[in-house]
Structure 1
Amino acid sequence: MSKNAKTLAGIVIVIVIAVAAYFGFAQTGSKSASEKTIKDLKVYFVPSKQPDQIVTMTKPLKGLLIKQLKKEGYDVKNVDIKVGTSYEAAGEALASGTADIGFIPGGTYVMYQDGAQVLLTATRSDLNKNFSEANKWNDGKETKAITKQAATYRSLVIAGPSQKGQQLAKKINSGEKLTWEDVNSAKWGLSSTTSSAGYIYPSLWLNKHFNKTVSDLKNTVTVDSYGSGMARLASGQIDILPTYADARRDFADMWTTDYKQSQPIWKETNVIGVSQPIYNDTISVSKKSKTMTPEFKKALSKSFIDLAKTKEGKKVIAIYSHEGYVPAKSSDYDGERNAQKLLKETRK
């Protein structure tokens, strides 16, 4: 082969390699773009507030999350928001893969941890009252939020304005201890079995003080949300409602308007029991969802953390009294696991 021919052949080879490299890059880029296009992102919320209220307040999340994920390089076409009919329904949706993302309590996460992965933990404003003694909450004054952020909260056992509720409150506020007969003779409103504040930790409180659990109570009803529970407490249909520590703040206005009570909630209700600290709610994702790649989970975490720092984002997450998010790990909820383990043992 002549020198010119060799030179020509070399040029051709270089061109072929360059063309091949170009098309290979184009195909790779096309694949990457495809992987970063998400047709539908399904988000589930638990019904800890009135479902229609949750739907209304979280509606802007669709556009906000799409916009935030766009900054992370993901093109999300639609965000579908649903409120589960129960805490378990939200957990099961994550476990089955019919939901991609779930705003769920720690108790629900632990119950469905085989199919769900905790991504973030919510932070909230701490309260000016954070006592382990029940009667210290009962000064008749409003519980207020402070600037300090907290990663834990407490479950409070609240006695209502019914005759039995007031009887139990009077005993606590005079410094006396309640007996099992006292609490067992009252009518309780309980949340779903995976609710940390409405079921699990109140059960631990009963176990600690009376060597009993909620399954031993003779007079209970299930409330499908804290809103309906508060309505029943106000009307006297139930005497006791276990709930999260700042619930009375959330329902203070409704107490005298929707529930038509003559006195403020701070005067008509009293704390008769206080749980140990509980780790805050989670944003968890489905292990079954094909959308939840390691890269997308990283982008999703950053998006929610950044979203919570915006004025619009804060309005959305305020439905659960969330004020921000921090990265979470599974071991953060070992306390919840221990709590559920004890519950299982006491049920045997």
Structure 2
Amino acid sequence: MKKGLKRVLATTGVALFGVAALAACGNKSDASKSDSKTIDDLKISFVPSKNPDDITTATKPLESVLKTELKKQGYTVKKVDVTIGTNFEAVGEALASGSADVGYGVPGSTYAMYKDDTDVILTATRAGLNKDSSNAKDWNDGKPTEPTTKQVTSYRSILVTGPSAKGQALAKKINAGEKLTWDDLKDANWGLSSTTSAAGYVYPSLWLNKNFKHNVTDLTHTVTIDSYGSGLARLASGQIDVLPMYADARRDFADAWTTTYGQKESIWAETNVIGVTPAIYNDAILVSKESKIMTSDFKKALATSIKNLAKTDEGKKIIAVYSHEGYKDAKESDYKAEFAAEKLMQDNK
């Protein structure tokens, strides 16, 4: 054999070995995950966007229902461990570390922060609302916000004022067709959700940036709320003047307003909307890239199982705690607007 040909073959052999080595490295994480059809423990962490006690009650039947659906997909799950994060970031951190396999009801803005550590498998669908105007005054007719029959994959954040003197003063300007100024808003008492909450922090900050060239960090008086339920309790008592929330939150807490929070008038009579954000893509169901059980096959089985359980009577009761009515397959690019919003938030810090 000629020396030149030997050199070519030797070089080719090294190259092929290198390709094989790279392929092995690339599959290392997948290879470390169990492809067993038996799962000892599936850990699901729910975000606290609703009252944690309500989530606990609603999700009690989840273990049985999900096990049944996964069994149909060929998987035997011995235990489904459900926890509720102390805040939105806690769920993201649990997914990033692998201490949770699944994040449930995760806002797009939280996903944006943890997209390098997670994969999105599903987006929730909800009933659309009969109010969807960008004009805040249109939400203040004193009538309940009602669901429609149309299923949607996005929602609005609304900035709501309560019965406090400052809250009423802000609402009076809006309902008179006047524009608010930064001076009107900066000294109000605001209740804000955790920094990754789309409806309770990120999009309200974008609204302030667009309309007043300011950020939530420029507000003088803010308090962090751990749930919309506790935020509405503060709004009802006058402890805060403004509370950003998802568009149908008032509907979800209408009964609590006059019972738990002790208000005499309805939530529709005592609250007003002073700002409406652009549409936000619906909650996601995420899986951890660090999870030892989350193989490609199991992700598909899990997504199918969740979609199927959402169609059952028992499943509908479980997911109703988040106002979810169904799920559709999702991909990272669905949340590109949320990624852009998160980048703007980081740039404005």
TM-score scaled to structure 1, two decimals? Answer: 0.90
Instruction: Assess if the C-alpha contact under 8 Å between 2:35 and 2:293 holds in 1.
Output: no
Aligned residues: 315
Q: Deviations over 1:123-155 (max 9, x none)?
A: 000000000000000000000001100100000
Which residue of the partner structure matches residue 121 of structure 1? 123
Counting only pairs closer than 5 Å after superposition, residues 329-344 of structure 1 correspond to structure 2 as 329-344=331-346
Q: Deviations over 1:277-306 (max 9, x none)?
A: 000000000000011100000000100111
- CA RMSD in angstroms comes to 0.9
Which residue of the partner structure matches residue 248 of structure 2? 246
Which residue of the partner structure matches residue 95 of structure 1? 96
Q: Percent of pairs identical after alignment? A: 64
Task: Describe the SS at the equivalent of 2:265.
Answer: coil
CA drift at 1:341: 1.0
Distance 1:343 1:293 in 2: 33
CA drift at 1:34: 7.7
Which residue of the partner structure matches residue 320 of structure 2? 318
Which residue of the partner structure matches residue 289 of structure 1? 291
CA drift at 1:114: 1.3
Distance 2:41 2:348 in 1: 43
CA drift at 1:67: 0.4
Counting only pairs closer than 5 Å after superposition, residues 73-112 of structure 1 correspond to structure 2 as 73-103=74-104, 104-112=106-114
Distance 2:40 2:326 in 1: 27
Q: Deviations over 1:69-111 (max 9, x none)?
A: 0000100000000000110000000011000000111111111
CA drift at 1:228: 0.2
Which residue of the partner structure matches residue 179 of structure 1? 181
Which residue of the partner structure matches residue 16 of structure 2? none
TM-score scaled to structure 2, two decimals? Answer: 0.89
Distance 2:60 2:187 in 1: 43
Partner AA of 1:40 in structure 2? D
Distance 1:343 1:84 in 2: 23
Distance 1:262 1:321 in 2: 26
Which residue of the partner structure matches residue 70 of structure 2? 69
Distance 1:137 1:155 in 2: 12
Structure 2 residue runs without a partner (length 5+)? 1-33
Partner AA of 2:62 in structure 1? L
Larger Rg: 1
Which residue of the partner structure matches residue 54 of structure 1? 55
Distance 2:107 2:71 in 1: 28
Q: Deviations over 1:146-175 (max 9, x none)?
A: 110010000000011100000000000000
Distance 2:53 2:132 in 1: 31
Q: Runs of 4+ in structure 1 displaced over 6 angstroms?
A: none
Report whether the alignment pairs 1:144 with 2:146. yes
Which residue of the partner structure matches residue 8 of structure 1? none
Instruction: Assess if the C-alpha contact under 8 Å between 2:43 and 2:80 holds in 1.
Output: yes
Distance 2:114 2:267 in 1: 35
Task: Describe the SS at the equivalent of 2:124.
Answer: strand
Which residue of the partner structure matches residue 216 of structure 2? 214
